Every structure is written in structure tokens, then in C-alpha cells.
Structure 1
Amino acid sequence: MQNTKETRGGNQRGGNMTRGAGPRGGRPDDSTPKISITQSLKRLSVYTKKSTGLIILTAIAVLIGTLVTVLTPKVLGNTTTIIFDGVRRATGIDFTQLRLTLLILLGLYLLTFLTSFLQQRFMTVITQDITRRLRRDLKAKLNRLPIDYFDQHQNGELMSIATNDVDNIVSGLQRSLTSIISSIISAIGVFVMMLTISPLLTLVVCLMIPVMLLVTRLVTPKAQKYNGEYFGSLGQLNTQIEESLQGFTVVKSFNGTQNALAKFEHANQSMVTSGWKAVFISGLTMPMMTLVQNIVYVLIAAIGSLSVVGGTMTLGNMQAFLQYSSQFSSPLLQLAQIWGTLLSMLTSINRIFSVLDADEMDETLGDYPNEPASDAKVSFKHVQFGYDDKLLMPDFNMAVEPGQMTAIVGETGAGKTTVINLLERFYDIKGGALLVNGQDIRNISRHDLRAKMAMVLQETWLFSGTIFDNIKYGNETATDEEVYAAAKAAYADDFIQKLPDGYQTILNENADNISQGQRQLLTIARAFIANPEILILDEATSNVDSRTELIVQQAMERLLKHRTSFVIAHRLSTIYDADRILVMDHGNIVESGTHQELLAQNGTYHQLYTSQFATA
């Protein structure tokens, strides 16, 4: 049974419930809204509120470390001056003052190490907390999104957003946040220190600032474009890998290895092309700034040397200024380098918030007319529905009595699965009314509605874990005895007991360490333990052999007893005993009756029957 309760794993897609139900596996949405870096960082800052204390401590550590770094060249310059003046004077070097200065210098270096360690420690805690909460919100959001969102977005793309984009933001924050703070403080502090030594040389150093702004302005648009293409290609690559692994047997059976490799290579090459362009464009800032820095450094050395010779500047101040000029250019180069990281982060933030901002399922309870006196368990009254503007069901009507088994047959695309999609509220009707126990389902929460139902599908869904846990998934409050009883009722206990670890046998990712028939029996056991009012069977025996089909049918007969049920069937031999068989075509019921009644009508059902059982 697929999970039909949003509180347990969210709104599941129900295996293949949506097949034929509109666009599946479409390309990712390329219309991601673009927002500025300021807006992006503002939205991201919501996830840092719980770490405000640590951020303040990080800022204090950065401030102290930066101030120490700014003071160090000045103290080192004083050391040079003490030695140089002592050599020139007859009295010699003042070793007492020199030792004091060196001790101060050692203390500054130790303080630099300590503040750097604390910065890294605090930032690791902050960024990992952001990672946890971002992924938590993304997972919760995906559980609240409507089915059609997943019809239009590839699984690989969504997985890439939840993993690669979150990691990109966190690693970017880890690298850039402290660097931005220290760079700004360092640039201001160094600028002040340079002014105290030589305003003229300070003016020469400041020539780097307009160059950096110009380069940034030229680089930003292209970098944003290629970053977006890169992460989009990464999502496509994930999708390609996921599809190839899931369909590995089919790929091998149809000799599709080369075709799969060609598709992978195309996606891989697309990612590489956009990736190197993004990195190259973003990286242009650094070499251009380095070139300007070297030119400025030569000018400072030339002008400073003349000042020392002319006696307007001491040798120690000259040495200190050269170090300060390097320190001033270093934060500018860091900011230029960080800019590329910020652009990459911006792309990831846009992609993440495009999911977080997507329209959710409307959980507001409606105020539609109910029919408490209705005797029908399920009623479709003049229901209208379509996946696009075109109506698939212009006027659908059906009433199912309590305990009645209703089979639905018809050609592919006739609307059989759509009936189930509407009953489970995977999609909402566009007109008319759909009632369960006399209540319009739009007046019932999806959780409460799906708690009344269980599904056994053609393609079984079992998660990685023990057989015991997979059965208990249908009812998390069930006791151990109830789990064992459900397995026995589904005729699954016999094969489970023969497994080496019994109920504690671990199923792998696709549960292919047991047979298809055994997987189906486990889903039936899961439906048993859920004890639903309404049971939905979608070709539950079509993928098993004839002998296993008999066992599965016996298990389903037990499950169907005294329950209202809907059975979607292509193999008509499985529905001979149905209380009513509905024949659908283009969203409408064209025939209705028992098996014998429909054969006697010599209509569409008769044609379906003879096409399956006619003998030569």
C-alpha cells in the first residue's frame, strides 16, 4: 500500500498513480525569478537568526584578529627602526626595547592564531546549522507541494537543489562570511594607518578601488548567466544518472548502453562547458586586480624610496607602508575573489527559494454542500476535471454503495486512474461534487480523507529497511502482533519465515532481493494493517506469474471482504466477481453492470473480453 497520509512521509505520488495524468518528467522550470544579492542575503539571513550569538562572537573574533593584523606591520616596522637606528648610533642597539617590541610582536601573532581558530570553529557550527534547517524546510516544502508540481519538475533536479545547491550556499558562507567582515575592517584599518604615514602614497594605493568596481560591473552579468546554466545542467545530469540506474536492466536488455552513455556525455559536457565559463569569467577579477596591485606596488616603492633618501620618511615607516599596501590590496583581492562565490551562491539561493516559494496545496477546508442522508459510500456528481484547459471529464457521475466492489476498465487514457486521483485528492475537481460518506471531500483535510483509504498498486513501493517496518508503515501505531497478523492474512508470513532474518530481513533500495510476487504480498499486508474503509487496487496482479497470482488474489479477497473497493483492471479475469463493472471511454462511463450483464450487451466490454479470450 502506498502511503496516503501526509503525516507519514508526506504526499506520496502513489507509485504510478499519475501515469497518463498530464506532463510527467518535464524539464526543470527555467523561469526562476532573479533577485539581487542584497535580497538573496536578506532572505538567507532568516536562517541565521538562531545563530545570532555565535555570529556576534565570530564578528568580535574577526574584529580583534583584523586589528591585530593591522597593528603587526607597524610593530614590525618599529623593530626595524630600533635596529637601524642602533647601528647608526654609537651607543648601539637598545636590546631592552628590542626585546619588549619582539614580545609584543609574538603576542600579536599568537592572538592572530587564536582569533583565526575561533572564527573557523564558530563558522563551522553556524553553516552546518544553516544546512540542517535549509534541508529540513525543503523536505517539508516538498511534502506540501501539489502532485502537478512533481509532474513538471524532474526528480534529479529537485535532488540537486536539496543537495548541491544547499552545499554550495553553505560552503560559500564558510569561505566568504568571515572574509567579507575581515576584509572590510582590514581595509578601513589599513587605510587609516597608511594615512598616518603618507597621504600621497595612500592616494596612489586607492587607484585600485575604481578598477575593482569596473571589473566587477563587467563580470557580474555573464557570471550569473553561466552559474545558472551550470546548476541547471547539474540537475539534468543527476536526472540522467538516476534514470539509468533505475532502468539498468531495461537499458542492458535493449542494448541501450551506448545511447545512455551518449545522453550522459551530452549532459556532462553541458555542465562542464557552463562550469568552466562560470569559473573563468568569475576568475578574471583576480588576475586583473593582481596586475593593478603590482603596478601600484612599483609606484609606491619608487616614490617611497625617494622620500626615504630625502629624509621625509623613515626606513621603518617605508617598510611598514609597503606591508600596508599589500594588506590593503589583499582584502580588495579577497573581495574580488569572494564576488565570484557570491554570484554562485546567488544562483543557488534563487533555485532553493523558487521551490520554497512554489504554491502549496490548498489545505483550507471548503464549505461545500454535504449530503448526510446519502446511502452511498462514494458519489461522483456531475464531476468536471481536466489536467489542462481541456476537460477530460465533462460530466462524470457514479455512486458506490458501502462494501461494494467496483471495477473500472477501459482503454489506456480512458480516465481510469484519473478517477482514483480525484478520489485521493491528488488533484481537485474543477466542477460538480465528489462525496465520501455524504461529505464533499473538499470539506475534509487530505490527511483525514486519506486515512480512510489504502492502495495496492501495480508497481510496488517498498523502502530500504526491514520487512517488519515496511508492513508497519501502513499503521505506525500497530503492535508487533498486529504486524504478524497482517502478514498472515496476506499470505506473506510463510515466505517471510523462510528468510534468514525473517521479519528483520533488510530490503535493499528497490527491494529486488525478494520476488515481485513477494513484494506485492507485503503491500497487501501493509493495506491490511491500515484497516481502511476504502480500498484501491490498481492492476495489483499484473506483474506476477500465474501461481503467485492465485496467492495474491486469495490475499486480496480477504482484504476486500466487507470493504468498499475500486479495482482498476486490464486483465478482465480478475474482476468477474465485481459487484459492478464500469467501462470508461474519454472520461465518461459508457457501460455499467456485472460481468454477465455487460457480455450480454455485446458492446465495448464484450469487445474487450473477446480481444483477451477469443480463440483461434
Structure 2
Amino acid sequence: MGLNDSKSTSSEVMGRLLSLTKPYRRYWIMAVASALIGVGMSLLIPVLIGDAINYVVGPGDVDFAAILPVLAWMGAAILVSSLFQWLMTYCTNKLSFYSIRDLRLQAFGKLQKVPLKYIDSNSHGDLIQAMVDDVDRISDGLLQGFTQLFTGVVTILGTLLFMLSINVTIALVVVVLTPLSFFVASFISRRTYSKFKEQSAIRGELTGFVEEMLGNQKVVKTFCYEDRAVEKFSAMNEQLNQVGVMAQFYSSLTNPCTRFVNGVVYAAVGIIGAVSAVRGNLNVGQLNSFLIYANQYTKPFNEISGVITELQAALAAARRVFSVIDQETEPSDYGLAEQVRCDGTVDIENVAFSYVPERPLIENLNLNIRAGERVAVVGPTGCGKTTIINLLMRFYDVDRGAIRLNGVDVREMKRKTLRSMYGMVLQETWLFRGTVRDNIKYGREDATEEEMVAAAKAAYAHNFIKRLPEGYETMITEDGGNLSAGQKQLLCIARVMLTRPPMLILDEATSNIDTLTEIRVQKAFEKLMEGRTSFVVAHRLSTIQESDCILVMDAGHIIEQGTHEELLAKGGFYADLYQSQFAVSR
């Protein structure tokens, strides 16, 4: 399922967001208590202002003895209100940030547990968008939402109580006009949400496209794709712009519309209050207090409607993040074998597999490999060479049949146990941002300095490492951008040599290395492969002539099997493939 395919309703998404706050109930309680006290003190101020006004009868006739204590109470109320408003903000910040931290951990943790098929079938840029930008949008929405919720609800209820205590009739007029604000906000928010959902999806596509273009700039420039990339980006950007403008248009209607309703409420209170004051039902101080309360009563509706934009964007982003969290994980390893004796015997029995059900790839694959054998897998592109590696490592599970190590089905052992038996060097190198030392020790963090240096020397990487500015402490940029392709591959080889696994998988492991270094590394591999079962995926047939067994694959089937000499003597597919390479190289 894609990131934009979730069928959850807005209320379900909001419910899940609120459930993230349950472990932090103490901040809920403190925030509510602070809101009650802080807003309560702020609502007491209009009453005090009204009393103060009543003590100012006219020019030269001010009751200073009575007004000074009122002013003192006002100062104390303002101080207490400010203190508890700060405490409420602190608690809501904690509540939001802790909840978002947990959400981000859930999402990243799920990405470590989903089947590789999910990662392969979704844009990496889209997943990054969900992990970073979407989570930030949720954080902004939650933070504003919590703050406005606490202060808004308490302010509305508090002002209603104070207004009812002053004059029931005018208070009822305010209550009758209140639904207008809810109607306006609801009408606009329904239209806003769909636009923000669409905007979030397009933003994910745009992020994925940028990630692809930046990550493959050499290919882009080689094929002179720059102008077309800009055109495609412009089209997507324009689509995002159009959707974003509509989303902002609908959301921007909220504030002026609710302010209009608030103006109507304020005007109604002023007119009816003035009439009541003329009739003697209200004094001047009470009328002033009522007008202040009417303004305070409508203000939360303004603030809450103003945050609808952030809230709708947060809900759309949360839907995408939850779609990641809701993905099915790989079947549990609970109860499976944690320790399995491994001498390198591998049996593949009647295995069938396909990435897409309607397009079979591997069918009825059978293979028996004895301990210590060196097996090479060759064949044309798309024949299933890399798929066999995926199945051996259990990145994907077979559809039918079984793969056994020492007679034990790989599905009966923990994935960690299975994968620790293999050392794998791929044609595509991967290094992370960190020191050279950290990258080599990635698979064995407890290795000693001597063991690490020995592995680097065995991979013929030690010499170039010592020439780096800080040797083994040199920082490698993202994906090894400050190293050559050959240097990156040597570090990957050193990483595997340090772990010294019982079995090896080499997928064109020396493809980016110069000829002289390749000869040396091949010798190092010879030593490393001694006594170890090894699978070598090869495109250059000259590198696998010493293999104990060569598997020739085509369309998911093993069509030939034997040593290099035996296959040449047959004069079949392998012989044609070998001669064609020889002819081209000559």
C-alpha cells in the first residue's frame, strides 16, 4: 500500500494522535490546571476593571480609597495569570514534543521491520518526506492545537459563567449567536482538508523526484537530461503551487469569516447592553465588563479557526505517517532457532518465486551445494541471479519450496542468525556518514584496532586510508561522496573481511577497482573463501573460472551447470557467452 492510500477518517486519525499523549497524562493534568487558573485570573480582570470604573464617578469625584485595592488586585491577577499561562505553554510543549518523538520512533522502527518489498515499491523520497517533513507538520499542528484547545475551552466556559452572573439575557444572546462561528469554521475546514491532503501527496512526489535527481547527477548530466528534469520539476512544482493556493485560499477564509461573526456578536452585545444600561438594568462598569467578556468570548473562536490550517495539514501528514506505521511487518522470529550449526551446506529444493504474482520469475529451482564449494552464478540480465541472493539472505521469502542450511529450513531460524552467516559485498557500495573506522567496524563494533587494520590490509585499503587527511579518523561524507568508487568498494570489502563469516556472497565485488588492485583483492578473496561456501554473481566470466561450480541461469531456470572447462566443452549457452565476451575484449 502506498503512503497516500490510507482510508482512515479524520476523526480516526485525530484519535490516534491523541492516543500518543496517554503516557504523558501528568502534562495533560498540569496544562488543564494551569489553564483553569491562568484563564480564571485573566477573566477576573474585567470584573475588577468594571468595579474601578464605577469608583470613577466623574471629574474631580474619584474614590481613591476604594479604587487602589482594586488596582492592587488587578496587578496580582495579571501576574498570576501570566505565570500560569507560561506553565500551561511549557506543559503543552512537552506533551507535543514527547508525543512526536514517540511517533517518529514508531515510524522509523516500522521501516526497520517491514518487508524489503515495501521499501522497494515506494519512493525513497516519499518515505523520507513522511519521516521528516510530515512529522514536523504534525508537531506544529499538535502544538498549536493543544495550546488553543486548553485556553480556548476554558476561556469560552469562563466568560459564559461571568456573563451569566452579570446579565442572563445578554449572555443568552451571545450563546444563540455562537453556532454561527462553528458553522463557518466547519464549512471551510471540510474543503480545506482535501486540498491539504492532495498537497501533502504532491509534496512527497516532488521530494522523491528531487532525491532521485540529486542522487544520480552523473547520469542526469551524462544523458543531458538537465533541461527535461527542470521541465518535469516545473510541472510538478506548478501542480503543487495550484493545489497549495487553493488550500491556502480556503484556509484564509476562516479568519475573516469568523471575525465577521464575532463582530456581529460584539455589536449585538453593545446594543442590547446599552439599552439595558439606559433602563437601569446595568451600570456603566458592568456594561464595560460585558463588552470585554464578549470580546474575550469570541477571541478563542478566532484563534481556533486560525489554527485550522495547521490542523488540517497535520491530519493530512498524519494519515501518511500512519500508513507507514500500519504496514505489515515481516513474520515474527519469536520461537525460531537462534543458534544453528553452519558448515556451509546449502540445499535449494523446488523453489519458486516471483516479485509480481502474474509474472513468474524462478520456477522449480533445485541446487545442492556442499560445504566449502565456490559457486558462480552467471546469465543475462533479469535471469534471476540477484533474486537468488535475495532468497538466500531471506530478504524475500520463497513462494514455494525450501532453502536449507545444514538441513534446517531458513524460515525456521531467526533472520539475524541467518544473515550473520553470510558476508556480502555488492556492486553498489554503501557507506554512511562517519569515520573510516566506524564504517569498517560496522558489522563488528567490538573488533580490536589490530583486527580492523588487518582487515583493511587484506582488502588492500590500508595504504589509501593512511594517505587520507586523518587516516582512519577521516570523516566520510554521505554515501562516501569524498572517496572514489574504488576506494568505497575496498572499504566495503574490508568491512566483510573483518566479520569473517562462514559463507560469502560477492556480487561483482571488484567491478569498480583498477586492474592491479583487483588482482590483489582477488587473491585476498581466495584466502578468505578457503573453506567457506561462496556465491559469486559475475558478469565478467574471466573472474569465475576457478569456481567449483558454475550455474548458468536463464529466465529463472538453471540451464547449465558444471566447471568452466566442462561448460566450454559442452559448447552451449555458457560457451557462447564466454566466447562473445572474449571476442569483444579482443
Name the TM tier (shorter chain): over 0.9
1:385 to 334, 349, 353: 353
Which whole-Å CA distance do the structure 2 matches of 1:347 and 1:544 have between them? 47
Given the alignment of the two structures, is residue 328 of structure 1 paired with residue 297 of structure 2, yes or no?
yes
Q: Using the TM superposition, give the Cα deviation of residue 111 of structure 1 relative to its aligned residue in structure 2, in angstroms.
A: 1.4
Which whole-Å CA distance do the structure 1 matches of 2:291 and 2:142 have between them? 31
Contact 1:64 1:115 in 2 (8 A): yes
| Residue type at the aligned position of 1:103 | A
Which whole-Å CA distance do the structure 2 matches of 1:120 and 1:303 have between them? 36
Which whole-Å CA distance do the structure 2 matches of 1:430 and 1:250 have between them? 36
Given the alignment of the two structures, is residue 41 of structure 1 paired with residue 14 of structure 2, yes or no?
yes
376-385 or 529-538: which moved more? Answer: 376-385
Q: Deviations over 1:118-167 (max 9, x none)?
A: 12222222222223222222111110010010122111111111111211
Which whole-Å CA distance do the structure 2 matches of 1:320 and 1:409 have between them? 88
Q: Using the TM superposition, give the Cα deviation of residue 221 of structure 1 relative to its aligned residue in structure 2, in angstroms.
A: 2.9
1:12 counterpart residue number: none
Cα 1:464–1:253, aligned 2, differ >3 Å: closer, same or farther? Answer: same
Contact 2:3 2:320 in 1 (8 A): no
1:82 counterpart residue number: 55
Q: Deviations over 1:341-378 (max 9, x none)?
A: 3322222222111111110000246899xx99x99711
RMSD, aligned CA: 2.1
Q: Using the TM superposition, give the Cα deviation of residue 87 of structure 1 relative to its aligned residue in structure 2, in angstroms.
A: 5.0
Given the alignment of the two structures, is residue 460 of structure 1 paired with residue 429 of structure 2, yes or no?
yes
1:62 counterpart residue number: 35
1:239 to 202, 208, 215: 208
| Residue type at the aligned position of 1:31 | D
| Residue type at the aligned position of 1:333 | N
| Residue type at the aligned position of 2:352 | Q
Contact 1:393 1:586 in 2 (8 A): yes
| Residues paired across the two proteins, number | 582
Q: Please give the residue correspondences for 1:124-523 in structure 2 after superposition, counting only pairs within 5 Å.
A: 124-364=93-333, 377-390=345-358, 391-523=360-492
Contact 2:196 2:316 in 1 (8 A): yes
Q: Using the TM superposition, give the Cα deviation of residue 284 of structure 1 relative to its aligned residue in structure 2, in angstroms.
A: 1.9
Which whole-Å CA distance do the structure 2 matches of 1:481 and 1:569 have between them? 32
Cα 1:376–1:476, aligned 2, differ >3 Å: closer, same or farther? Answer: closer
Which whole-Å CA distance do the structure 2 matches of 1:561 and 1:260 have between them? 49
Which whole-Å CA distance do the structure 2 matches of 1:217 and 1:189 have between them? 23
1:122 counterpart residue number: 91
Contact 1:205 1:296 in 2 (8 A): yes
TM-score (norm 2): 0.95
Given the alignment of the two structures, is residue 544 of structure 1 paired with residue 513 of structure 2, yes or no?
yes
Which whole-Å CA distance do the structure 2 matches of 1:463 and 1:364 have between them? 28
Query: Structure with the greater relative contact order (CA < 8 A, sep ≥ 6): 1 or 2?
Result: 1
Which whole-Å CA distance do the structure 1 matches of 2:175 and 2:309 have between them? 22
Contact 2:403 2:409 in 1 (8 A): yes
| Residue type at the aligned position of 2:180 | V
Among all aligned residue pairs of Structure 1 and Structure 2, give the percentage whose two residues are the same amino acid.
38
Q: Deviations over 1:288-345 (max 9, x none)?
A: 1111222232232222222222222111111111111111111122222233333222
Q: Deviations over 1:194-239 (max 9, x none)?
A: 1222233223322432222322332233222111111112211211
Given the alignment of the two structures, is residue 104 of structure 1 paired with residue 73 of structure 2, yes or no?
yes
Which whole-Å CA distance do the structure 1 matches of 2:519 and 2:410 have between them? 35
Contact 1:520 1:552 in 2 (8 A): no
**What SS does structure 2 have at the residue aligned with 1:578?**
coil
65-74 or 492-501: which moved more? Answer: 492-501
Q: Using the TM superposition, give the Cα deviation of residue 525 of structure 1 relative to its aligned residue in structure 2, in angstroms.
A: 0.9
Q: Deviations over 1:103-128 (max 9, x none)?
A: 11111111121112212222222222
Q: Using the TM superposition, give the Cα deviation of residue 252 of structure 1 relative to its aligned residue in structure 2, in angstroms.
A: 2.4
**What SS does structure 1 have at the residue aligned with 2:348?**
strand
2:572 counterpart residue number: 603
Which whole-Å CA distance do the structure 1 matches of 2:74 and 2:344 have between them? 88
Q: Using the TM superposition, give the Cα deviation of residue 541 of structure 1 relative to its aligned residue in structure 2, in angstroms.
A: 2.0
**What SS does structure 2 have at the residue aligned with 1:125?**
helix
Q: Deviations over 1:50-77 (max 9, x none)?
A: 3221221111111111111221111111
Contact 1:62 1:178 in 2 (8 A): no
**What SS does structure 2 have at the residue aligned with 1:298?**
helix
Cα 1:75–1:367, aligned 2, differ >3 Å: closer, same or farther? Answer: closer
Contact 2:333 2:413 in 1 (8 A): no
Given the alignment of the two structures, is residue 32 of structure 1 paired with residue 10 of structure 2, yes or no?
no
Q: Deviations over 1:482-540 (max 9, x none)?
A: 11111111121122122231111111112132222222111111111111111001111
Contact 2:435 2:472 in 1 (8 A): yes
Q: Using the TM superposition, give the Cα deviation of residue 28 of structure 1 relative to its aligned residue in structure 2, in angstroms.
A: 4.1
1:578 counterpart residue number: 547
Structure 1: unaligned runs, 5 residues or longer: 1-26
Q: Deviations over 1:541-560 (max 9, x none)?
A: 22333233223322322222
Contact 2:31 2:150 in 1 (8 A): no
Contact 1:406 1:578 in 2 (8 A): yes
| Residue type at the aligned position of 1:74 | V
| Residue type at the aligned position of 1:384 | A
Which whole-Å CA distance do the structure 2 matches of 1:299 and 1:241 have between them? 55
Contact 2:336 2:414 in 1 (8 A): no
**What SS does structure 1 have at the residue aligned with 2:350?**
strand
| Residue type at the aligned position of 2:27 | L
Contact 1:524 1:556 in 2 (8 A): no
| Residue type at the aligned position of 1:485 | A
Which whole-Å CA distance do the structure 2 matches of 1:241 and 1:181 have between them? 40
Which whole-Å CA distance do the structure 2 matches of 1:80 and 1:254 have between them? 79
Contact 2:193 2:313 in 1 (8 A): yes
**What SS does structure 2 have at the residue aligned with 1:614?**
helix
Cα 1:217–1:129, aligned 2, differ >3 Å: closer, same or farther? Answer: closer
585-594 or 252-261: which moved more? Answer: 252-261
Contact 1:464 1:508 in 2 (8 A): yes
1:593 counterpart residue number: 562
